[in-house]
Structure 1
């Protein structure tokens, strides 16, 4: 279960505008991995998420990460 200590608030710049986003540490780690894989900064990735989002940025980011993980799993399934 997630508690408030697991949520990290970070200042970011999205499309030239400073803002902040609060998501769980695990999501920050995955977001960094996605940005690295796409060879862009976390701010640039968040700008892309922000451009297509509905609802708040934190929720949109979690949904983006979930969709990315599903897509990666379908592209590179792990065999047991």
Structure 2
């Protein structure tokens, strides 16, 4: 299920829509980096290409993170 989330980025309120599973992974990413969720989202927002949708950028970052973790397990295993 897609849920709309609200957050303050750079002093302005904005919202994004994302599935619960992606939000859970974003929380895991933030915890791994010892960052508040809002700081991680701000980091992703700042690095997304001009005109790219924030919701899509968040999903793509989660995918990238999960793939890198999978690759590390293959190397370690």
Specify if TM > 0.5: yes
Runs of 4+ in 1 over 2 A off after TM superposition: 76-79
The alignment's C-alpha RMSD in Å is 1.4
Partner of 1:36: 31
TM-score with structure 2 setting the length: 0.87
Number of aligned pairs?
A: 74
Structure 1 residues without counterparts, runs of 5 or longer? 1-5
Structure 1 residue 14 displacement after superposition: 1.5
Partner of 2:59: 62
For residues 12 and 36 of structure 2, the distance between their equivalents in structure 1, rounded to whole angstroms, comes to 15
TM-score with structure 1 setting the length: 0.84
After superposing the two structures, state which structure 1 stretch, 15-24 or 41-50, moved more: 15-24
